[in-house]
Amino acid sequence: MAGLYIHIPFCKSKCAYCNFFSVVSEKQRADFLEALKKEAVARKDYLGGEEVKTVYFGGGTPSVLEPQDILGILETLDKNYNINAAAEITLEANPDTVSKESLQEYKSLGVNRLSIGIQSFFDDDLQYLSRKHDSKHAMQVLDWAKEVGFREVTLDLIYGIPTLTDEKWRNNLEIFFSTGFNHLSAYALTVEEKTALGQRINKGMAASVDEDAVIRQYQILVEMTENQGFEHYEISNFARPGHYSKHNTIYWKGEKYLGLGPSAHSFDGTSRQWNVASVKDYCESYSFEREELTLDNRYNEYVMTSLRTCWGCDMEYIKNNFGEEYVKRFKNLTKKHLLSGKMFQKDEKFVLKDYGMLFADGIAAELFM
């Protein structure tokens, strides 16, 4: 089983904190759609005929495309890939780019999961992030999603925003629970220097992130989601049982996926490939870079991604794929984290506790070969 990721590189405007590849101009939309279809045909053997269990439209903002555009892409994928009839088909949508009618159309053409970029239900937080929607419209969109019958909906929320108090963060989570949706992706605000927000903070024109508030709000998140019956299955992802993201689980479990579109990444089990991050270059001639992964690279990736999940690092998997020496080294280096209580062992699996997940990147780096 494998996954398909489609990168739609257009956004209505650029959010101040955004570090994803996207452009504001839609001048090249028609050329992009043409190039995307060509790439889909050219790379149809990448997954070796494996059945595709997930299709994910990410971006950018996929909901800037007309439903007919999405339909055209899905038809091309259907002709060229072995897509499971019950595949999870997710579309990322921003509140300012959808209407009840467009949601209805996305649903009728096969999209069965929405990922909605809410970020906060408070307008001052949205302004700090320079998002284009307001909280009133966000609530309206969530009602539409329910009214048109989307059962699988995930919301993105951001904590650690300087304007977000602990109380407001609790309110955001309560509003999310009141929607009845079964999946939440909650991210700590990270500020990259080259983004507009990074530059504003550097010049003293915007408040910077308070790391203590990030930790407090993460703890509030873990506690409140647990009380509501959500499972914390990846550092930033929470779901009621049976509602995990199938597509993202492919990344976290090291399964194959093909990424189409500018800047999209692909993984075939032994190598990684990434497309050129330019709409113009992508439309003119599709080009990419590729890296064959060494055994150590693959081990490092496995450790880094698995430590961020509730499944943890499996010693059986490491023994079978990398060798006994890697297991010995892993066990030696993690003794202190077992003792400090950041990590626990269950049978042959080493798993970070909720609090330990805050240190996942640092712990993984210590374990790298």
From 12-20, 217-225, 287-295, 333-341, span contacting ligand SF4 (CB under 6 A): 12-20
From 41-49, 56-64, 71-79, 290-298, span contacting ligand SF4 (CB under 6 A): 56-64
Residue 49: DSSP 8-state: T
Told to check if 98 binds ligand SF4 by CB under 6 A, we report no
Candidate list 61, 90, 120, 263; residue touching ligand SF4; CB under 6 A = 61
Told to check if 90 binds ligand SF4 by CB under 6 A, we report no
Told to check if 279 binds ligand SF4 by CB under 6 A, we report no
**Closest distance to ligand SF4 from the beta carbon of 348 (Å):** 39
From 10-18, 185-193, 263-271, 286-294, span contacting ligand SF4 (CB under 6 A): 10-18
Told to check if 60 binds ligand SF4 by CB under 6 A, we report yes
**Closest distance to ligand SF4 from the beta carbon of 98 (Å):** 13
**Closest distance to ligand SF4 from the beta carbon of 187 (Å):** 11
- Which residues lie below 8 Å from residue 333, measured CB to CB, with a gap of 6+? 366, 367
C-alpha span between 159 and 125 (Å, rounded): 10
Q: By CB neighbour count within 10 A (0-12 exposed, 13-18 middle, 19+ buried), where does 205 fall?
A: exposed
From 8-16, 40-48, 167-175, 204-212, span contacting ligand SF4 (CB under 6 A): 8-16
Residues 238-277 that bind ligand SF4 (CB under 6 A): none
Residues 104-133 that bind ligand SF4 (CB under 6 A): 117
C-alpha span between 167 and 69 (Å, rounded): 41
Other beta carbons less than 10 A from residue 221's beta carbon: 24
Edge-to-edge strand list for the sheet holding 343-346? 313-314, 349-352, 343-346
CA 98 to each of CA 63, 91, 115: distance values in angstroms, whole numbers, following the listed order: 7, 12, 12
* Token representation of residue 158: 């951001």
Told to check if 59 binds ligand SF4 by CB under 6 A, we report yes
Please report the sign of the dihedral spanned by the C-alpha atoms of residue 131, residue 136, residue 137, residue 140: positive
Candidate list 54, 94, 248, 275; residue touching ligand SF4; CB under 6 A = 94
* Token representation of residue 288: 């990419």
From 18-26, 202-210, 244-252, 291-299, span contacting ligand SF4 (CB under 6 A): 18-26
C-alpha span between 125 and 82 (Å, rounded): 43
Told to check if 65 binds ligand SF4 by CB under 6 A, we report no
Estimate the crossing angle of helix 67-80 against helix 100-108, to 10 degrees: 10
- The nearer residue to ligand SF4, 24 or 85, going by C-beta atoms, is 24
Residue numbers at the binding site for ligand SF4 (CB under 6 A) = 11, 14-15, 18, 20, 22, 59-61, 94, 117
